[in-house]
Structure 1
Amino acid sequence: MKNKPSSNIITIGLAIFSMFFGAGNLMYPLYVGLHSGANNMYGMFGFLITAVLLPLIGLIAMILFDGNYEEFFGRLGTGIGKTIIFLCMLIIGPMIAIPRIVTLSHTMIAPFLPITLLQEVTTFSSFVFAFIFLGITFLATFRENRIVDLLGTVISPLLLLSLFSIIAKGIFTGQEIIHISALPWDAFVANFIRGYETLDLLGGIFFSSIVIHILKNQMGGMVGMNRNRLAIIGLKAGALGTSLLAIIYIGMSILSLYHGHDLTGSGDLFRILTFKIMGSHGALVIGTAVLMACFSTSIALSAVIADYFQVHLFNRKVNYELSLLIALLLCVPLSTFGLDAVLELTAGPLLYIGYPVLITITFCNLAYKLFNFTPIKVPAVATFIAALVSYFYL
């Protein structure tokens, strides 16, 4: 693969798609159609801005920083930068993202599981499921240099095949669209904010470090002389991955628009809706879609957090494998709290105050690399104050 840049682009592009497309991404696009009705176009436009365009911008900005998130956040000051990185790691790791993946996957596939104990979602069954799920994640993430190949050549094709099968059948068997009274502007704003909950801007920033690291290894000694080439390959792969995201999101919103009658925005909406479309014989397709989506993002997030633990928390005194094990064990407690509890954390002030600040930092850093725009502290503080006031008082 070292001598075939086009193969790199396709493999890494598919890997980027599967990294982004996790548990929440099986829910939130369905909510767009379900809550927007005839104004689905406006709702999806808002959602695509924050769930596709922003992650791509974050990826581009991070590529310009050569995948170095310390330098990316360090422009705010060393102490502040390290604090923000630590908070981001909590969000994408044991505090929100990985527990959400575990609880949502259990909720969605519980009826299909062969073990009777796991077919009902309880605290104990969630504990057992979390150990099984995270154990498999550990085995898949154990060899760090194989992650992109695993995601790009195995998990992504299976995920895309299962999703396209569901979407295609759903479109061809569509009923009358659901009737929702949402106005175009309301649909746009609601789903613009809903895109925050995918957490994919964080993914764009932190996944890029994995992609760049692997791409450098594949290109070998050429990288020092061909940094522009590395950036171009990364950008093309990012564009491919996020384009696939957009296509799937649009298709999924159409599914809920035409098949979402009498359904609510619950955590198992994807399973209920796809059963309605595929019938009982579609269990294999549904299960494949859920597991591939959940494992792909779990693997990528775990690799990012393990690398952070090894390098920054343990100062390389602990190897990658032990760092990975510790990171995954820290994800177990919240994974037993149930889906509703984890989703409440996702929609909390940490996200709705922190995410606008992260957006501002991303745009300031992009402008810094492209146009030598140096201000970052004042815009970040101003955004923080505005978001704080908006969340608590408006």
Structure 2
Amino acid sequence: MENVKDLNHKPLSVKQYAIVSSLLFGLFFGAGNLIFPVHLGQLSGAHWVVAMLGFLCTAVALPLLSVLAISVTRSKGVYDIGRPLGPAFALGFMILIHATIGPLFGTPRTATVSFTVGVQPLLPKNAVHLGLLVFSGLFFLAAFLCSYKQSNIMTSIGKLLNPLFLVLLFATFLLGFLSPMGHAASQTVTSAYVNGSFFNGFLQGYNTMDALSGLAFGVTVVTAVNEMGKTNPISNSKVTAKAGVFAVGTIGLIYVGLVWLGATSLGKFNVSPDGGVAFNQIMNYYLGGVGHAFLATLLTLACITTAIGLVGAFAQDFHKHFPKVSYKVWLGLMCLASFLTANFGLDQIIAWSTPMLMFLYPFAMVLILLSVTSPLFHRDPVVYAWTVVCTAVPAFLEMISSFPPVVSQSGFGKAVTTFQSNYLPFASAGMDWVVPALVGAILGVTFHLVLKAKRNGAVESEKED
């Protein structure tokens, strides 16, 4: 693959880099990226800066590392990231990632958030279920049509929707800065954020699902850069990395503004049940009745761009590994499944997505970090195996304790929680996988160095003979 030559030997222009960055921005930034930081600002109050720093670790730094992992390993998707552990693990990991950010949780959420926050307040209570059915149907029909031709993903996201979204978002920030609702540094801090602001912000970043999405979007980004003539893996990875730095940097600045906006809103409102309600209150405060229409437009634009990327990446990856089913059929199945899941409602989707995220994120984080640093140990499967095996047990236990009460409050669930708190460091912060993962990485690198020394010794012996 390294011998493949670029069809376009000229450096990409600033405009072309901007298009790729805009593509990445649109793929990453969905409705959850709007509502979760606003809610974080309300929960953390005066401690919003510390909570924001934790949030930026998992919602900005980690997605950037996922893009860099694709670049460093010259991968074309999430399957390649898990490939050092064998094809069975790679395929299973790919299916779990796509199921989580796809039809089970992530993609349906793009429709339910935009409906719940933007459209539902305008409907009578007896029309909500029908309204969600119609809205989600039209929403995923639009996502299907925009993704039907793979080349349209670049045009739909990078050139059209993102600029409009950014204009609307800038207008929102302008209103907040010109007439703040309160002073962020003097607002009340909820009990969980009095002493645990950083780690709670860190865990809130899981909800964006962007680190998982970054791995899955790799195939979409690589395809888009290929269309610009950068078909050599090395030059393709360089373009992806540079565009990724700019895209997630922009997202980070937006998060800072949203967390601050949420904290200032406590000057006029109590802590809301979720960020959607909080954002709706903010829009109503500044724009009155017009705020609903403004918010609905903003959220729908943010959601549709992410949905297009998710359904496209799902169909591309599954067609590649299960080629008997065409890209268009996989795309249709993804949109249909997401439509059906969306109609269970936002609360159910969020409640059941949390345990899966607590299970998958530790694996994603260690695989991303291993991929980025893989040139140091030549992507040795031994290092991967030790690290992932040591991560698996605490990740599984954290998933059990994060399930809704029907599971977490059962006898087994309580026993798991007790074991975590007694034997695993940082369990109270939801970070009990960190120490085992570090131990696994150290063991893996040690075995790698020992085996490397033995191989070098054997080679020297052969030369002497």
Same fold, TM exceeding 0.5? yes
Q: How does 1:114-129 map to 2 (within 5 A)?
A: 120-122=127-129, 124-129=130-135
1:234 and 1:192 map into 2 onto residues whose CA distance is 26
1:93 and 1:223 map into 2 onto residues whose CA distance is 28
1:7-49, CA deviations, whole angstroms, 9 ceiling, x for partnerless residues?
Answer: 2210111111111111211211112210111111100000000
1:372 and 1:184 map into 2 onto residues whose CA distance is 44
- What is the Cα-based RMSD across aligned positions, in Å? 2.2
- Give how far 1:364 is off: 1.2
Q: Aligned letter for 1:325?
A: G
Shift in alpha-carbon separation, 1:118–1:264, aligned structure 2, 3 A: closer
- Give how far 1:370 is off: 5.0
Contact 2:102 2:314 (C-alpha < 8 Å) held by counterparts: yes
- Give how far 1:286 is off: 1.8
1:154 and 1:346 map into 2 onto residues whose CA distance is 31
Shift in alpha-carbon separation, 1:303–1:373, aligned structure 2, 3 A: closer
Q: What secondary structure sits across from 1:386 in the alignment? A: helix
Are 2:283 and 1:274 aligned?
yes
Partner of 2:116: 107
Partner of 2:369: 363
Partner of 1:53: 61
Pairing partner for 1:171 from 149, 160, 177: 177
1:181 and 1:323 map into 2 onto residues whose CA distance is 44
Shift in alpha-carbon separation, 1:81–1:128, aligned structure 2, 3 A: same
Moved more, 177-186 or 138-147: 177-186
- Give how far 1:203 is off: 1.3
Q: Aligned letter for 1:192?
A: F
1:290 and 1:272 map into 2 onto residues whose CA distance is 14
2:65 and 2:239 map into 1 onto residues whose CA distance is 15
Pairing partner for 2:212 from 178, 202, 217: 202
Pairing partner for 1:180 from 189, 192, 206: 189
1:67 and 1:143 map into 2 onto residues whose CA distance is 23
Contact 1:108 1:271 (C-alpha < 8 Å) held by counterparts: yes
Shift in alpha-carbon separation, 1:17–1:79, aligned structure 2, 3 A: same
- Give how far 1:57 is off: 0.1
Stretches of structure 2 lacking an aligned partner (at least 5 in a row): 1-7, 402-415, 422-465
Pairing partner for 2:388 from 359, 376, 380: 380
Pairing partner for 1:264 from 245, 265, 272: 272
Q: What secondary structure sits across from 1:325 in the alignment? A: helix
- Give the percent of matched residue pairs that are identical in Structure 1 and Structure 2: 25
2:345 and 2:141 map into 1 onto residues whose CA distance is 19
Shift in alpha-carbon separation, 1:376–1:291, aligned structure 2, 3 A: same
2:328 and 2:124 map into 1 onto residues whose CA distance is 30
Partner of 2:325: 318
Pairing partner for 1:43 from 51, 58, 61: 51
TM-score, normalising length: structure 1: 0.91
1:370 and 1:119 map into 2 onto residues whose CA distance is 60
1:249 and 1:40 map into 2 onto residues whose CA distance is 11
2:202 and 2:291 map into 1 onto residues whose CA distance is 32
Q: Aligned letter for 1:384?
A: A
TM-score, normalising length: structure 2: 0.78
Q: Aligned letter for 1:203?
A: S
- Give how far 1:274 is off: 2.0
1:181 and 1:327 map into 2 onto residues whose CA distance is 39
Are 2:336 and 1:329 aligned?
yes
Stretches of structure 1 lacking an aligned partner (at least 5 in a row): none
- Give how far 1:86 is off: 0.8
Are 2:313 and 1:288 aligned?
no
Q: If you compute each CA radius of gyration, which structure gives the higher value, 1 or 2? A: 2
- Give how far 1:271 is off: 2.0
Q: What secondary structure sits across from 2:151 in the alignment? A: helix
- Give how far 1:71 is off: 2.4
Partner of 2:462: none
Partner of 1:245: 251
Shift in alpha-carbon separation, 1:67–1:184, aligned structure 2, 3 A: farther
Pairing partner for 2:306 from 290, 293, 297: 297
Q: What secondary structure sits across from 1:180 in the alignment? A: coil
- Give how far 1:324 is off: 0.9
- Give how far 1:117 is off: 8.1
Contact 2:101 2:212 (C-alpha < 8 Å) held by counterparts: yes
Shift in alpha-carbon separation, 1:388–1:102, aligned structure 2, 3 A: same
* Higher relative contact order structure (alpha carbons within 8 Å, sequence separation ≥ 6): 1
Pairing partner for 1:6 from 14, 26, 30: 14
- Give how far 1:94 is off: 0.8
1:219-269, CA deviations, whole angstroms, 9 ceiling, x for partnerless residues?
Answer: 1xx533xx4432222111101110111111111111111113214132433
1:322 and 1:71 map into 2 onto residues whose CA distance is 23
